[in-house]
Amino acid sequence: MKLQSFGLSDVGRKRSRNEDYFLANDELQISVVADGMGGHSGGEYASRLAVASIEEVIQSMNSDPEATIISGVNSDESEFGDRLRYAIEVASQKIYDQAMYDQELKGMGTTIAAVIAHEGITYVANVGDSRVYLVRGGKIKQVTTDHSLVSEQMRAGLISSQDAKKHKLKNIITRSVGYQEEVEVDVFRVEMQLGDRFVLCSDGLTNMIDDETIRLILESETIQVAAQALIAKANERGGDDNITAVISQVVA
């Protein structure tokens, strides 16, 4: 089994610049969505640098068995989830170093949502509030956990899910790639089943569309048409932010 992916990104209806960036690389079996943040062009720079760095690290590890910079990351015993985590850590360090070098980019960072498949397992990673969903058997499940102030308050029982949707601080994230020297990456392991569809998306999508609408679109269309429909629906409902969706489908 393998992943077949397709992605789209749109500036939305209220932003002048698209600070989202994505990757859908079937050869490497990896997909990534990044939602940048930072003054001037910092957000756009951070998201592009993150995605390019992650792709470069995974490509290097796949092509060169000796490219083991940290012991165990690229060994036969290690999972591809370790490679994905390491690639995100490398990307974070590059962004942080560039921000320290260029004062106009100071404070930039990006969220990351990523999947990589290997030998029947899909490894899912995230930092920030970009999400990965799994649509399987007519049901949708959010695989990732949002790293945001509102989500942490909701998990602590301080606010309800309805309050969270309207909270004035819902865009405050508690983790990002590149903002600090070190980053904590969550990695999840999902056993692949034929027909599974993973949806990677920025909050420009999920702030406009509820989970059930995402599921209905994913159930009824090809991944190419579904991605287009997700973007169109988010714009139809306001398009308040940049909108990015990558759909990765498990095929034989």
**Domain CATH code at residue 226:** 3.60.40.10
Contacting residues for 216 by C-beta, under 8 A, at least 6 apart: none
Domains in the chain, number? 1
CB atoms within 10 A of CB 193: 13
Q: Which one is predicted more confidently, 236 or 152?
A: 236
For residue range 137-188, list pLDDT tens digits in order.
999 999 999 987 666 666 665 565 665 566 556 677 889 999 888 899 999 9
For residue range 198-232, list pLDDT tens digits in order.
999 999 999 999 999 999 999 878 999 999 999 99
For residue range 14-72, list pLDDT tens digits in order.
998 999 999 999 999 999 999 999 866 789 999 999 999 999 999 988 887 666 555 55
d(CA 88, CA 109) in angstroms, rounded, equals 12
Q: Which domain holds residue 137?
A: 2-251
Per-residue pLDDT, 155: 65
Q: Check: CB of residue 146 under 8 Å from CB of residue 131.
A: yes
